[in-house]
Structure 1
Amino acid sequence: MSSFSSINCRTLSTVQEKRRCMHAQVQELKQTWLERLAFGPTRRDDALIQLWLGVFPVSLNQLPLERAVLLQGQIDAIRRHLSGTYRDLLGAMLADPALQISLSGHLNNRTNPNENLARELLELFSLGEGHYTENDVIETARALTGYRLVQHRSLVLDPRRHDFGTKTILGRTSGFDLSELVQWLCQQPATARHITRRLWLEIVGPLPSPARLEEIAAGWRQNHLSLPWLISVLERTPEARDGRRQATRLDSPIAMVSRSLALLGSRHPDALRISIHHLRLMGQPLFAPPSVKGWPTNEEWLNLRWLTARRRGLMALLADPEVWASRELPDSLPPGLTAIPPLTIGLPAPATRENIARLWRDPVWQLC
């Protein structure tokens, strides 16, 4: 996706040069990623990657100098597993340098176990709260010991740092390394329920009954935790179809801005720069989730300051002369641009700056 991976900022001579290098890499990553979300040839896959970046959130502010390279590595790892199983994706994320560093996993060793990664693994990435004990956290931390960072970019398992002793996790006693641990966690019904719940919130909207979630999760287990199966089933549920028809979900800022850029058709650097700046004001700066729990979802975006920032950001795009001059618009704005008809403009309509402004100011533009 980018060419900066060959640059090692740590090889530069001065602290100032290293910081400039790091900043340039981060800006390049943000611009390239937003451009892919709006215009890329694999927008469907990129949108799914953005979804999984919310399930396995890493903030660039938690990473060392090569933060852009590390985040790019996480994106690439997710992309490689989109057509696989959750077991494979979870294993890849636990071995991912960016996620490990963000949760202090690379500091976890047999003589001084660090429980941070283990706790988030059980609570957020697998079983969910209430389905494990404190002893399970301690034993899981032992199973994850031994990884260390090499050249600030990759992880290796150091046998001298790994705890090879037996551990008891969720009632099973074994040697438990990372691979066996992931396999065991993914055999637990609670994992399928918890991840189904997280993706339901992102893809469908308000949660259904526990029985309905269990129905989907049970089917997912029967299909070996296939990621394409779960995504497809969630997107085709009657609840998802009704939600799209009634436009009951508030789009995330990143998805809304990507959709707006795609309509405008401007790839000018100013369009990307303005969008990235205003995404921060909208509450969703690229690669900087607020916590390890990820981004807000649906009604959690109903914040007056954030909603005001959405309108201002879109109007800033339209007001920039370079962005408008580089637009690639059809002759008219067709019907179907929004899930339900806009309230303040009838479509089709001429693709003028005034009409796009009316469309983007319309509350319906924020819905999906």
Structure 2
Amino acid sequence: MQKLMFSKMPLPALHHLQRRAGFGPNKDAMRRSPAGRNDEVEAIFRASRRGKELNLIDFAPAVQPNRKDLSRKARMQLRKERKEALGKLNHAWLRQMATEKAQLREKLTLFWHDHFACEVDHPFGMQDLNNVMRRHALGNFRALTLAVSRHPAMLHYLNNRQNRKQSPNENFARELMELFTIGRGHYTESDVKEAARAFTGWNFDDQGQFIFQAKKHDFGTKTFRGKTGNWGGEDIIYMLLEDRQTALHIAGKLYQFFVNDQIDELHAQELGAVLYDNDYEIEAMMRHLFLADWFWEAKNVAARIKSPVELLVGIMRDLNMDLPEAKPVHGIQSILGQILFHPPNVAGWPNGRAWIDSSTMLLRMTLPSALLLSSDTEFALPHDLMDTGQGNRLKKVRKINAQIDWKPIFARYRTLSPAQRTTTILADLLPASSEHISPAMLQGFVDSHDPESHVTTLFLQVLSLPEYQLT
């Protein structure tokens, strides 16, 4: 164990860490020799001490005018402006994931964005909630849950503004338990009703600040999970986190996101115990995860299917690519099935094999061609997609205008022989478990006389392989 911690780790192992703790290796990692496991893991956390918040959208009042009071033209204009603002916010975050040094913080922000799924028609509110998640991403889960629960976007999304004494709304209380904390099967319908009473009066003002409206709060005695008292909303959250099941539920989801689509119950329980015993400090659990021997086992390499966002951001990092226009980026997310700030429902996006079917696999394997060939390239549609709804959506994504900085890529591979170049590119772009792919097979389809042309063609081939869909 000590030897593994401090001896230099193989480059494929470093790439495994960087794909899981972020969105893929950076070019600095390609040029240097890896340090020991402990040092490389600490470097990941050190880079994520601070994060860069999104500040694209200017403040807007949280309580909006009633749309019924607006003219039809004014309503249409407001809808257009908000749609454009959310599109720009989506674009800004995607680019930040690709370039930000605080990779683990951004990766965890993406996880919490799915875990605490929320969508409101208020761009500043969505930006602010995203920044709350980024701020707490490696902090304390209790503090994160409280901050999200008090946020105007979540209170509006889950109807807690309509939750008042004598007319409680159970939506927020139910999702808090089922999705955000303890998980389905560990609470009763009576618990939902009593928790809803505890959250009555939780609201926000015009400035987007949380307020407690005492006149709307039910101050009566409540019995929640066998405990009776005059409970408020904070009490409910604290009691839920007192139960180890909450730590196990969160740890299981994090295991699937960072380790393997298939949960190993013993390892997930191990993570849950670390989270609970460290008073829900997320960083302590994540450090344990990345230093655990089982994280590095072969069965956990290439064991996750990339989400559409992970796929797109990974391509951007692998190619030193920028996508400067917001609309095509939004279109790509739409056809692949994951649009940032637009979850399908409060449960978030389905993960794992749910990302892949016959049509989405073809779309994913076509994406590198659209991004790589030239800024004038449109999506080349496979014939069996032409008559599908997905094919029609692809046609809407016109000139992508991808901007690729090839210089550092050419510098890494130019001096290698064609055979070495092929082997090295395969190792750099694919998980370590992809050694079964024959470099000779790729060589047979590529003209290797011009080194730069050889590199670009190899990148296109490797990025289009099914194995690239895994991390």
CA distance in 1, matches of 2:284, 2:132: 19
Q: Which is further off, 180-189 or 298-307?
A: 298-307
Assess, with a 3 A threshold, how the Cα gap between structure 1 residues 209 and 8 changes in structure 2: closer, same or farther. Answer: closer
Assess, with a 3 A threshold, how the Cα gap between structure 1 residues 138 and 281 changes in structure 2: closer, same or farther. Answer: same
Aligned to 1:224: 279
CA distance in 2, matches of 1:165, 1:325: 60
Equivalent residues of 2:323, 2:401 under 8 A apart: no
Aligned to 2:57: 4
* TM-score normalised by L of structure 2: 0.71
**Selected match of 1:143 from 187, 198, 209:** 198
Assess, with a 3 A threshold, how the Cα gap between structure 1 residues 295 and 255 changes in structure 2: closer, same or farther. Answer: same
**Selected match of 1:326 from 396, 403, 408:** 403
| Correspondence 1:12-91 to 2 at 5 A | 14-59=74-119, 63-64=120-121, 66=122, 68-91=123-146
* TM-score normalised by L of structure 1: 0.89
Assess, with a 3 A threshold, how the Cα gap between structure 1 residues 304 and 41 changes in structure 2: closer, same or farther. Answer: same
Aligned to 2:160: 105
- How far does residue 324 in structure 1 lie from its aligned partner after superposition? 6.8
CA distance in 2, matches of 1:167, 1:195: 26
Gaps of 5+ in 2: 1-53, 377-399, 414-423
User: 1:122 aligns to what SS in structure 2?
Assistant: helix
Aligned to 2:459: 356
- How far does residue 362 in structure 1 lie from its aligned partner after superposition? 1.0
Count of aligned pairs:
362
Equivalent residues of 1:314, 1:360 under 8 A apart: yes
Assess, with a 3 A threshold, how the Cα gap between structure 1 residues 148 and 15 changes in structure 2: closer, same or farther. Answer: same
Aligned to 1:337: 429
Equivalent residues of 2:324, 2:402 under 8 A apart: no
CA distance in 1, matches of 2:86, 2:299: 34
Aligned to 1:123: 178
Q: Deviations over 1:234-269 (max 9, x none)?
A: 333333322576412111110110010122223242
Kindly name which structure, 1 or 2, has the bigger radius of gyration based on alpha carbons.
2
Q: Deviations over 1:325-354 (max 9, x none)?
A: 731122137432221347365699857432
Q: Which is further off, 42-51 or 200-209?
A: 200-209
CA distance in 2, matches of 1:243, 1:137: 42
- How far does residue 33 in structure 1 lie from its aligned partner after superposition? 0.5
CA distance in 2, matches of 1:352, 1:89: 45
Assess, with a 3 A threshold, how the Cα gap between structure 1 residues 325 and 268 changes in structure 2: closer, same or farther. Answer: closer
Equivalent residues of 1:274, 1:316 under 8 A apart: no
Identity rate, percent: 26
- Residue identity in the other structure for 2:197: R
Aligned to 2:225: 170
CA distance in 1, matches of 2:327, 2:318: 17
CA distance in 2, matches of 1:221, 1:7: 38
CA distance in 1, matches of 2:465, 2:286: 30
- How far does residue 27 in structure 1 lie from its aligned partner after superposition? 1.4
- How far does residue 55 in structure 1 lie from its aligned partner after superposition? 0.7
User: 1:173 aligns to what SS in structure 2?
Assistant: strand
RMSD value, Cα: 2.7
Aligned to 1:191: 246
- How far does residue 96 in structure 1 lie from its aligned partner after superposition? 1.5
CA distance in 2, matches of 1:237, 1:295: 28
Q: Which is further off, 8-17 or 173-182?
A: 8-17
- How far does residue 211 in structure 1 lie from its aligned partner after superposition? 4.2
CA distance in 2, matches of 1:268, 1:209: 37
Aligned to 1:305: 359
Equivalent residues of 2:87, 2:330 under 8 A apart: no
- How far does residue 311 in structure 1 lie from its aligned partner after superposition? 2.0
User: 2:322 aligns to what SS in structure 1?
Assistant: coil
The answer as to 2:469 corresponding to 1:366 is yes
CA distance in 1, matches of 2:402, 2:91: 19
User: 1:168 aligns to what SS in structure 2?
Assistant: strand
Q: Which is further off, 14-23 or 146-155?
A: 146-155
CA distance in 1, matches of 2:152, 2:456: 45
Aligned to 2:310: 255
Aligned to 2:47: none
- Residue identity in the other structure for 2:185: G
- Residue identity in the other structure for 1:56: F
- How far does residue 365 in structure 1 lie from its aligned partner after superposition? 1.1
CA distance in 2, matches of 1:216, 1:325: 40
The answer as to 2:341 corresponding to 1:287 is yes
- Residue identity in the other structure for 1:6: F
- How far does residue 82 in structure 1 lie from its aligned partner after superposition? 2.3
- How far does residue 155 in structure 1 lie from its aligned partner after superposition? 3.6
Equivalent residues of 2:274, 2:284 under 8 A apart: no
**Selected match of 1:316 from 370, 391, 396:** 370
CA distance in 2, matches of 1:32, 1:43: 15
Equivalent residues of 1:108, 1:141 under 8 A apart: yes
CA distance in 1, matches of 2:244, 2:365: 43
